[in-house]
């Protein structure tokens, strides 16, 4: 059994959906996870925002535009009058549901129900398409088996039990179509796995069903060894370890959602990144195999804020870091990078919504400096301490670039540097030339 996930662009038009159908109708048993058609979830968020503000006209305008788009896709997707009609009925019922919220009270529960409509639509449309073309498939409602607990973490035992129950009830079937992103929460309400969460769904499903492989289909040929927007001649990486992939996914390699590596890693199921535009290309395979003595990739993350706290009280004291971390925790702000000296600590954050409160609180413990608009550049590869020389190669490449923070040894796979945004492009190119060319 395999799990194949197709993102919003891969199912973004009727034509693209037909191409996906060609990729999955090879007779092998599989679960096909679909995102909403591209742009849909953004529109649903916009609708919800209008409804929160009780601006029903604003909401209706976006709803109507979206409905027109879907009606057109339905006409393009099906050949027979019968299925065009079924498709239009489907679209109508989902949009009536969305419109039903333009009269009532609007809270986060209604918002989540609205956000779920994109995946419900794309999967039902796709299921009809397969049916019209004579392929047998089962529509597997994610709301029946995908669940998060009170801490918003996936309820793995429940997912495993429910999913396998449904799969074994349909043991004679081969193709299961299901929604990415959506789930129920601990109270049974409709919820979701956060934006971009369809990759996470695929990984959780793969782990629960003990799949042979999880495939993430996008429109790029796997993860690249550098950012193609800033560096020429980047190459797709043939294989990565789970740990390397997790580091890269966090650092802007938008192709894979960072959370989705863990379930696959825990279940030791390989994840393959494939390209719908070039289905024969081998893409990137992510598994437990760690390539020795290899620098796999360079990546960067923008919009980083660095905060330095200096204090004589830190000298030879314990408990200082805890106090500092508690402040970030109280504002639910994750820390990314951290470096310390005997009299100070520097941390970086990418979520600066509570920056001023955090800085205010930190002033209780020391002098605080803030640097905004920084970039973390990271080198991912086999950076275990025994591999001598990589750090000096990296620093040699960057000898002309001012470096604000360095983090090495946090894992065996990452060396991170904090630099100015203006130096990012040059740094990525210098590293690329030194490490890969």
Question: How far lies 391's CA from each of 294, 388, 396, 415, in Å?
Answer: 13, 8, 8, 8
Q: Which does 180 bind (CB under 5 to 8 A by kind): ligand ASP, Mg ion, none?
A: ligand ASP
CB atoms inside a 10 Å sphere around CB 359: 16
CA 391 to chain centre: 30
Would you count residue 197 as binding Mg ion (CB under 5 A)? no
Give the DSSP H or E segment for 75.
helix 56-77
Q: How far is the CB of 316 from ligand ASP (least distance, A)?
A: 48
- Tokens representing 30 are 């599989």
Judged by CB under 6 A, which stretch of 74-82, 104-112, 189-197, 426-434 contacts ligand ASP? 189-197
Question: Which of ligand ASP, Mg ion, none lies near 283, with the C-beta cut-off 5 to 8 A by kind?
Answer: none
Q: Does 35 bind ligand ASP (CB under 6 A)?
A: yes
Q: How far is the CB of 34 from ligand ASP (least distance, A)?
A: 9
- The distance of closest approach from Cβ of residue 196 to ligand ASP in the complex, given in angstroms and rounded to an integer, is 5
10 or 226: whose CB is closer to ligand ASP? 10
Q: How far is the CB of 423 from ligand ASP (least distance, A)?
A: 32
- Which residues in the 226-245 window bind Mg ion by CB under 5 A? none
What's the number of CA atoms in the CB half-sphere (13 Å) around residue 101? Answer: 27
What is the C-alpha separation between 6 and 76, in angstroms, rounded? 20
Cβ atoms of 312 and 343 closer than 8 Å: yes
Q: Which is nearer to Mg ion, 39 or 344 (CB)?
A: 39
Rg of the chain (C-alpha set): 24
* Nearest distance, CB of residue 401 and ligand ASP, angstroms: 35
**Token digits of residue 166:** 């449904």
| Shortest CB 63 distance to ligand ASP, Å | 17
Measured CA to CA, the distance from residue 203 to residue 265 in angstroms comes to 9
196 versus 206: smaller Cβ distance to Mg ion: 196
Cα separation, 300 vs 219, in Å, equals 21
> Which of positions 108-167 make contact with ligand ASP (CB under 6 A)?
118
Is residue 283 involved in binding Mg ion (CB under 5 A)? Answer: no
Question: Least separation, in Å, of the C-beta of 12 and Mg ion?
Answer: 12
Q: How far is the CB of 110 from ligand ASP (least distance, A)?
A: 18
Regarding 50 and contact with ligand ASP (CB under 6 A), the answer is: no
**Segment near ligand ASP (CB under 6 A); pick from 194-202, 259-267, 323-331, 335-343:** 194-202
Residues contacting 307, CB < 8 A, separation 6+: 346, 347, 348, 349, 358, 359, 362, 368, 369, 370, 371
Is position 196 an interface residue for Mg ion (rule: CB under 5 A)?
yes
- Nearest of 274, 311, 262 to residue 156 by alpha carbon: 262
Among 87, 154, 197, 270, interactor with ligand ASP by CB under 6 A: 197
For 327, residues 6+ apart whose C-beta sits below 8 A from its C-beta are 358, 361, 362
C-alpha pair distances (Å), 184 with each of 116, 124, 154, 187, 350: 10, 19, 10, 8, 29
196 binds ligand ASP (CB under 6 A): yes
Which of the ranges 35-43, 277-285, 314-322, 424-432 carries the binding residues for ligand ASP, by CB under 6 A? 35-43
Q: Which does 414 bind (CB under 5 to 8 A by kind): Mg ion, ligand ASP, none?
A: none
Residue among 199 and 336 whose Cβ is closer to ligand ASP:
199
Q: What's the Cα-to-Cα distance from 405 to each of 176, 305, 312, rounded to whole Å?
A: 48, 12, 20
Q: Which residues bind ligand ASP (CB under 6 A)?
A: 7-8, 35-36, 41, 118, 180-181, 195-198
Q: Which residues bind Mg ion (CB under 5 A)?
A: 7, 196
């Amino acid at each position: 059994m395999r799990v194949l996930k197709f993102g919003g662009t891969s199912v973004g038009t009727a034509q693209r959906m037909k191409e996906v159908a060609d990729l999955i109708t090879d007779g092998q048993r599989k679960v096909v996870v679909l995102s909403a058609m591209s742009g849909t979830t953004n529109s649903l968020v916009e609708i919800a925002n209008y409804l929160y503000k009780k601006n029903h006209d604003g909401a209706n305008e976006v709803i109507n535009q979206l409905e027109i788009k879907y009606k057109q896709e339905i006409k393009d997707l099906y050949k027979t009058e019968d299925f065009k009609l079924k498709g239009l009925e489907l679209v109508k019922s989902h949009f009536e549901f969305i419109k039903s919220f333009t009269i009532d009270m609007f809270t986060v529960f209604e918002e989540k129900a609205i956000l779920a409509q994109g995946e419900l639509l794309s999967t039902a449309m796709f299921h009809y398409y397969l049916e019209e073309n004579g392929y047998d498939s089962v529509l597997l409602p994610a709301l029946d088996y995908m669940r998060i607990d009170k801490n918003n973490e996936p309820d793995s035992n429940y997912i495993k039990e429910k999913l396998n129950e449904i799969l074994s009830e349909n043991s004679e079937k081969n193709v299961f179509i299901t929604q990415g992103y959506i789930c129920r929460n601990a109270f049974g309400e409709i919820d979701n796995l956060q934006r971009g969460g369809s990759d996470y769904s695929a990984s959780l499903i793969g782990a629960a069903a003990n799949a042979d492989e999880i495939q993430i289909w996008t429109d790029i040929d796997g993860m690249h060894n550098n950012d193609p927007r800033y560096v020429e001649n980047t190459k797709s990486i043939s294989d990565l370890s789970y740990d390397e992939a997790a580091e890269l996914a966090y650092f802007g390699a938008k192709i894979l959602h960072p959370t989705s590596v863990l379930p696959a890693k825990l279940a030791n199921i390989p994840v393959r990144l494939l390209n719908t535009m070039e289905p024969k290309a081998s893409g990137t395979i992510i598994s437990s195999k760690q390539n020795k003595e290899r620098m796999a990739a360079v990546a960067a993350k923008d919009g980083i804020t660095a905060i330095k706290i200096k204090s004589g009280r830190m000298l030879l004291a314990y408990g200082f870091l805890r106090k500092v971390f508690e402040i970030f925790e109280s504002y639910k702000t994750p820390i990314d990078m951290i470096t310390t000296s005997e009299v100070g600590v520097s941390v970086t954050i990418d979520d600066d919504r509570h920056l001023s409160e955090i800085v205010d609180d930190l002033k209780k413990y020391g002098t605080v400096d803030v640097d905004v608009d920084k970039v973390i550049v990271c080198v991912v590869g086999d950076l275990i301490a025994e591999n001598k020389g990589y750090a000096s190669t990296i620093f040699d490449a960057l000898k002309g670039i001012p470096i604000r923070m360095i983090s090495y040894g946090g894992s065996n796979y990452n060396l991170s540097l904090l630099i100015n945004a203006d130096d990012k492009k040059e740094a990525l190119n210098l590293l690329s030339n030194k490490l890969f060319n």
